[in-house]
Structure 1
Amino acid sequence: MYRTGAAARLAGLPVETLRVWERRYSLSDAQRSERGQRLYSAEQVARLGLLKQLVDQGHSIGVLASLSREQLQSMLGLNLPAQASAAAPVRVLLVSNMLARRLAAMGRDAAGLDVRGHCTSLDRLDELPTDADADVLVVEMSELDDSVLPLVAEARQRAGAAATVVLYRFCPSATIRALRAQGCLVARVPADLSELSLLCRSALTGQRLPLAEAEPAITPRRFDEDALVTLTAASDRLSCECPRHLSDLLMMIGSFERYSVQCASRNPEDADLHALLARASGQARVILEDAMERLAIAEGLPLPGRLS
């Protein structure tokens, strides 16, 4: 279960927007904690994400609020024939470190996907098998910009898959449009991995999602994504879930920090604002990295070599 702040973040919504929607339209039957805080399930978070996409497309939240998740998916063109959900797992090639580990932890075919091979990044495409007979190539990166366009094209050619899904956390609209012009299905990294199978099947049927709209960090990152994934995996043996939640926060804030540097500015004042956002998120990252280091030491979790 997710509190309001976490649910809003996963759905791509400002917290205040979610609170206004709940107050005005009673969006969900969210449970309440002992302290009266709203608690959202993964299903409810997924529905909030659909609402966000449709509102970005120009639909009125007042009209959407009463619709079911299935109706929202239909409006986005994400509903597939009934037999699709019962079909064999989609054969995929992954260009992602995080997704490969998360899917491996769920077990083979657990998310409706059959992973035929993977590499950790677009500059290691030679590690992808050339005879995987994959249906879909899935590329996941925290931040995307125009520099990835030739790399994604190369990955598609090498994979030989029928469709390509590109996942991101932050990405300029122009890059999204360019990737879609290449024939890719582009979407935010889903909070629930069961959504990934749906995205892959949508890509195979030619369906598309609506368009959602660096200064160096103030200090070098102490925990890159590999280190955070390793910490998350090692914390599975603990009853405390704080390492996993803190890893998620660090991935998100680090991604936004780098995105703020790359975000297009309309005028000098806009550039100053984005520089401020990058500095503020960088300062927050440093504080959270300090907290992660202390937490890892207290729980006996592995730290990157330079910290041990």
Structure 2
Amino acid sequence: MYRTGAAARLAGLPVETLRVWERRYGLSDAQRSERGQRLYSAEQVARLSLLKQLVDQGHAIGVLAGLTREQLQSMLGLSGQAQTQSAAPVRAIMISNTLTRRLAAMGREATGIDVRAHCASLEQVDELPPQSSADVLIIEMSELDDGVLPRVAAARERVEVGAVVVLYRFCPSATIRALRAQGCLVARVPADLSELAVLCRSALSGQRLPLPEPDTAVLPRRFDEDTLVTIANASDRLVCECPRHLSDLLMMIGSFERYSLQCASRNPEDAELHALLGRASGQARVLLEDAMERLAIAEGLPLPGRRP
């Protein structure tokens, strides 16, 4: 189940638009969580995506709102076979290290992703089979710049898939535009990996996500990503999900720091601002790393990179 923000993002809608549609046209029968938050099923997200595509083509939402999913698919020219295939696991080739491990830990049934082959980075793309029976190539990199463009194109040519999904934590808007010009779906690494299958299906259907605003910052970190993934995977046996969420936050901060080192300053004032952001992110990193160490010790989780 997806909360309102995730459902809107996956359908390519602004959250405000989704709320207006629901208020005016009684668009969905979303469930409610114990805290009263709206929850959407994958089926509902798929229907919202169909509505978005048809509205973009000029159809009135007031007319579309009363139609079934089958009728919406018919208007878009989607066959029943495509509908059936959308419920099957997405066959994927993975170029990633941490994400592949997380998917393996969760299992195909939980994520909806069937990993057919994988390698750790774009530099190792020659290790992949030259042709595969996969649907999607998934590339995950924490920070992206325009130097990645020819390597993504080469990887796509090697594996011959129907779509490419590029996942990042920080990336300049110009690089996102360039990747989209190559036909890639580009998105931030989702916190909930059950969203990944929906992103892959969006890529296969030719949808695109809104362009995010660029980010910036600085400073090194204490835990490397392998350590954080080890902690996150080990925490699966706990009722408390805090170690996994805190691992995600620390990976985000580490990625943000490395990305900021590549960000050019336009003038002295801009450089001073980036230095301030670097100090602030460093202070946040120290606080969160201290919290992670205490949490891991309290829960008995492994700390391969723990300081004496």
TM-score (norm: length of structure 2): 0.70
User: Separation in 2 of the partners of 1:280 and 1:8?
Assistant: 27
**More displaced 10-residue stretch of structure 1: 145-154 or 277-286:** 145-154
| 2:229 aligned with 1:229 | yes
Q: Partner letter of residue 227 of structure 1? A: T
| 2:195 aligned with 1:195 | yes
In structure 2, the CA distance between the partners of 1:43 and 1:228, relative to structure 1 (3 Å rule), is farther
User: Separation in 2 of the partners of 1:169 and 1:80?
Assistant: 33
In structure 2, the CA distance between the partners of 1:194 and 1:298, relative to structure 1 (3 Å rule), is closer
**More displaced 10-residue stretch of structure 1: 168-177 or 102-111:** 102-111
What CA deviation, in whole Å up to 9, does each residue of 1:261-288 have, x standing for no partner?
Answer: 3345443322321221122112211221
User: Separation in 2 of the partners of 1:306 and 1:271?
Assistant: 33
User: Separation in 2 of the partners of 1:181 and 1:128?
Assistant: 24
| Matching residue of 1:163 | 163
| Matching residue of 1:182 | 182
Tell me the CA shift for residue 305 of structure 1: 4.4
TM-score (norm: length of structure 1): 0.70
Whether the 8 Å CA contact 2:122–2:151 is kept in 1: the answer is yes
| 2:261 aligned with 1:270 | no
Tell me the CA shift for residue 2 of structure 1: 11
The DSSP-based 3-state class of the residue aligned with 1:170 is: coil
User: Separation in 1 of the partners of 2:37 and 2:291?
Assistant: 25
| Matching residue of 1:90 | 90
In structure 2, the CA distance between the partners of 1:209 and 1:295, relative to structure 1 (3 Å rule), is closer
User: Separation in 1 of the partners of 2:146 and 2:189?
Assistant: 18
| Matching residue of 1:286 | 286
Across the aligned residues of Structure 1 and Structure 2, the Cα RMSD in angstroms comes to 4.3
Tell me the CA shift for residue 232 of structure 1: 0.7
What CA deviation, in whole Å up to 9, does each residue of 1:33-62 have, x standing for no partner?
Answer: 5xxxx7575869x98xx9xxx9xxxxxxxx
User: Separation in 1 of the partners of 2:218 and 2:188?
Assistant: 23
The DSSP-based 3-state class of the residue aligned with 1:114 is: strand
In structure 2, the CA distance between the partners of 1:141 and 1:163, relative to structure 1 (3 Å rule), is same
| Matching residue of 1:108 | 108
Tell me the CA shift for residue 229 of structure 1: 0.9
Whether the 8 Å CA contact 1:179–1:186 is kept in 2: the answer is yes
User: Separation in 2 of the partners of 1:194 and 1:96?
Assistant: 17
| Matching residue of 1:120 | 120
Tell me the CA shift for residue 306 of structure 1: 5.8
Specify every segment of 5 or more residues in structure 1 that has no aligned partner in the other structure, as ranges. Answer: 13-17, 55-62
Whether the 8 Å CA contact 2:217–2:260 is kept in 1: the answer is no
Q: Partner letter of residue 106 of structure 2? A: M
User: Separation in 2 of the partners of 1:85 and 1:252?
Assistant: 35
| Matching residue of 1:60 | none
User: Separation in 2 of the partners of 1:221 and 1:163?
Assistant: 34
Whether the 8 Å CA contact 1:176–1:211 is kept in 2: the answer is yes
User: Separation in 2 of the partners of 1:251 and 1:193?
Assistant: 15
| Matching residue of 1:132 | 132
**More displaced 10-residue stretch of structure 1: 93-102 or 191-200:** 191-200
Whether the 8 Å CA contact 2:217–2:259 is kept in 1: the answer is no
The DSSP-based 3-state class of the residue aligned with 1:303 is: coil
| Matching residue of 1:244 | 244
Whether the 8 Å CA contact 1:257–1:279 is kept in 2: the answer is no
How many positions carry a matched residue from both structures? 273
Tell me the CA shift for residue 30 of structure 1: 6.8
Whether the 8 Å CA contact 2:92–2:135 is kept in 1: the answer is yes
Tell me the CA shift for residue 92 of structure 1: 0.8
Tell me the CA shift for residue 245 of structure 1: 1.8
User: Separation in 1 of the partners of 2:276 and 2:177?
Assistant: 27
- Identical-pair percentage: 68
The DSSP-based 3-state class of the residue aligned with 1:91 is: strand
Q: Based on CA coordinates, which of the two structures has the bigger radius of gyration?
A: 2
The DSSP-based 3-state class of the residue aligned with 2:167 is: strand
Q: Partner letter of residue 277 of structure 2? A: L
